[in-house]
A = this chain, B = another copy of it.
Amino acid sequence: MEFYFYSLIAGIVSLLFSFGFAYMVLRKPEGTKKMQDVSNAIREGSKGYLSRQLKVIAVFAAVLALLFLLLDNGWQISIAFIVGAVASYLTAYLGMNVAVRANIRTAKSAEAGASKAFSTAIYGGAATGFAAVGLSLIGISLLLSYLPVSGVIILIGFGFGASVVSLFARVGGGIYTKAADVGADLVGKTELNLPEDDPRNPAVVADLVGDNVGDCAGMAADVFESYSVTIIASLLIAAGLAATLTAFKYPLYLAGAGVVSSLVSMLFMRTKGKNMVRALYKGIGAAVAIAAALDLALTLYMGLPIGYFVAVLSGLALAIALFWITDNFTGSGRKQVIKVAEAARGGAGTNVIMGLSVGLKSTWPSVVAVVLAIFISFAAAGLYGIGIAAVGMLSLAATILTIDSFGPITDNAGGIAEMGGMPKKVRDTIEPLDALGNTTKATTKGFAIGGAALSATALFVAFAQAVGLATLDALSPFVTIGIFIGALLPFIFSSFLMEAVGHAANLMVDEVRRQVKSIKGLLSGKAKPDYARAVDIATVNAIKALVVPELIAILTPIAIGLVLGKAALGGLLVGMIPTSFVMALFMSNAGATMDNAKKYIESGKLGGKGSETHKAAVVGDTLGDPLKDTAGPALDSMIKVVSTISILLAPVFMAFVLL
């Protein structure tokens, strides 16, 4: 049996289960005509955006694929690249298509109680989660079946394809969702005092579309990418260390074990409608415990050193730790969140000062956790240990993605219930699900960021091997220069994203104000707003903003590599990975904290909704939105695009350098 056989089987099983979960969603009833109208509008908006995004991606990917033909093994790399890009896009596309069908069915299920709605949303999420893992394993295994073991480096083409698509999905989806959200909130909630998801708000459909294209499609592509490049990085490290075939098998088998543990964990994600958060945590706990048991068995069965298992275990523990840390810092009702809410008493200014301060502080436990994982895994199994620790962590991807996709589905369900005119009782059933979805969205982000950091570290090791660097001397000025540029990258990159959101949100604000003025009877509910125009503004502006950040991420490492050489490029990775990691944590946690501080006030504390304190907290939430849902997550994708292109072009940087 070839060594990639089991991972191929695991991938096929995962994909079949994904279809199974999708089927379980689709056979549920759809709800009233009015609800379907809303749901259809969301679906059309989402598809419309994704198809326009696809055009940009297709052109971009085609150009890259052609350029790769100039490399040695050009054909193989080009094909791997295209397979990776297509698989990544397919994951995002499938995930989103299930999500836009699961939302209305979740709303409808809520008539029969919270537990039905919960399971509908979870199945919807699982369809995405298992599709991501399945497509990744199938893609990698099939490529391996055509490549000699010595050609494993070509797999990085697959990783780069996934990275490019993921960056587009993160950037575009992130800008879309926050431009719509901020625009809808600023006028709708603040100026007009409309509740969330009110059908009179012209930007409300765009906001709901945003949840799907950003939180669902964007996150799916991101985790697909992390998962894929992590496996590839560990295969590359194994190849670089001239290891035995067992060292190749091990990460693939770990991934297979992850599929099994994720599937079994689904059995634990049930609830009778109470304590739903416990059901999710039980699911994660089960996934980790089963994965640990299977990984131990694997290690013993394969006769590998127990240190390998210790490394994998440190990755699994890191996943749990990041969940716990993120929840403790940013979870609703936590000490830091209340601190930010209380700062809103002094006005919007002190609220945002405190929100950023908490975000800055929140970075340390996660950094320490990642550092410990690196330390333990290296001590236990050397550089290879860092690779398999990352694989261990990411082997939970299907479970994490399930829980994460739960968020946009329940968020949409709440919107459809509100706009579709469902009775208050049903809406009250959905509300805690929606709140839970917000929490899981925030906590899974900790996993995504930490996973990106760990897998980028593994990629960095693979890079050094690929360019033949035995050491990388940080005392050399070229390396120093690379480090400075690397530390700069996350700043300049996220500036474009923040700017795009600010710009598009402002246009959205103008449009909403215009509609409120010009459409008579809009506020009294007699006339319908022009949802399509708001959708169009978000779409056009997100697409416009796609290309520059992507070019920055791809061209900077190429320029440094060609002008200053491979050592400086190594320096760039050294500067970029930690800084981007800390920045992503800062942005993501600051945003989540300010979001929950606002919700804390809305729960009736400190004057409650409509008070001056609440208005101040809304400003914090507005600032937090692009931090946590646009710039922060996009940095995950950026570091992997930069890392993979650096490895991919390693032969070029070794053959040619300007200075």
Contact = CB atoms under 8 A, between A and B. Distances in A.
A621 B484 CA distance: 29
A364 B488 contact: yes
Contacts of A461: 475
A611 interface: no
A336 to B, nearest CB: 10
Contacts of A494: 360
Contacts of A499: 354, 357-358, 361
B622 A477 contact: no
A402 to B, nearest CB: 30
A483 B357 contact: no
Interface stretch (A223-231, A251-259, A312-320, A573-581): A573-581
A626 B355 CA distance: 13
Please tell me the size bucket of the interface on A.
Answer: 35 or more
Interface string A77-107: 0000000000000000000000000000000
A541 B332 CA distance: 28
Contacts of A481: 371, 374-375
B475 A346 contact: no
B475 A475 contact: no
Nearest to A464: B475
Interface string A453-470: 000010001001000011
Contact of A505 (B346, B477, B574, B626): B346
Nearest to A573: B474
- The DSSP consensus for interface residues of chain A is helix
A208 interface: no
Interface in A580-604: 581-582, 586
Interface in A328-378: 342-343, 345-350, 352-354, 356-361, 363-364, 367, 370-371, 374-375, 378
Contact of A578 (B190, B350, B361, B487): B487
A637 interface: no
A37 interface: no
B491 A182 contact: no
Contacts of A473: 471-474
A523 to B, nearest CB: 19
A626 B477 CA distance: 33
Contacts of A375: 477, 481
A45 interface: no
B477 A350 contact: no
A350 B506 contact: yes
Contact of A484 (B348, B350, B357, B578): B578
A623 interface: yes
Total copies of the chain: 2
A1 to B, nearest CB: 35
Interface in A494-537: 494-496, 498-499, 501-503, 505-506, 509-510
Contacts of A359: 495
A485 interface: yes
B571 A501 contact: no
A388 interface: no
Contacts of A579: 487, 575, 578-579, 582
A186 interface: yes
B474 A350 contact: no
Given A371-B485, A586-B491, A182 B349 contact: yes
Contacts of A452: none
Given A475-B464, A480-B457, A498-B354, A363 B491 contact: yes
A367 B358 CA distance: 27
A364 B481 CA distance: 13
Interface in A37-56: none
A622 B349 contact: yes
Contact of A488 (B186, B487, B506, B582): B582
Contact of A350 (B347, B485, B486, B622): B622
A386 interface: yes
* Most chain B CB inside 10 Å of its own CB: which residue of A473, A581, A621, A623: A623
A479 interface: yes
Contact of A509 (B346, B363, B367, B623): B346
A10 to B, nearest CB: 30
A493 to B, nearest CB: 9
Given A349-B622, A579-B579, A360 B182 contact: no
A618 interface: yes
A94 B23 CA distance: 78
A582 B586 CA distance: 15
Contact of A480 (B374, B483, B623): B374
A494 B349 CA distance: 17
A114 B506 CA distance: 42
Interface in A598-649: 618-619, 621-623, 626
A626 B352 contact: no
A615 to B, nearest CB: 9
A393 to B, nearest CB: 16
A618 to B, nearest CB: 7
Nearest to A183: B346
A492 interface: yes
A570 interface: yes
Contacts of A475: 461, 464, 469-472
Which 7 A-B pairs rank lowest in CB-CB distance, beginning with the nearest? A349-B622, A360-B495, A357-B498, A361-B495, A487-B578, A353-B502, A357-B499
20 contacts: A182-B349, A182-B350, A186-B349, A186-B350, A345-B506, A346-B502, A346-B506, A346-B509, A346-B510, A352-B619, A353-B505, A353-B622, A357-B502, A371-B485, A383-B477, A474-B474, A474-B570, A474-B571, A487-B487, A491-B586
Given A343-B502, A347-B509, A371-B484, 20 more contacts: A186-B347, A346-B510, A347-B619, A349-B623, A350-B509, A357-B496, A358-B495, A364-B492, A374-B481, A457-B480, A470-B475, A471-B475, A472-B473, A472-B474, A474-B474, A474-B571, A484-B578, A486-B578, A487-B578, A487-B579
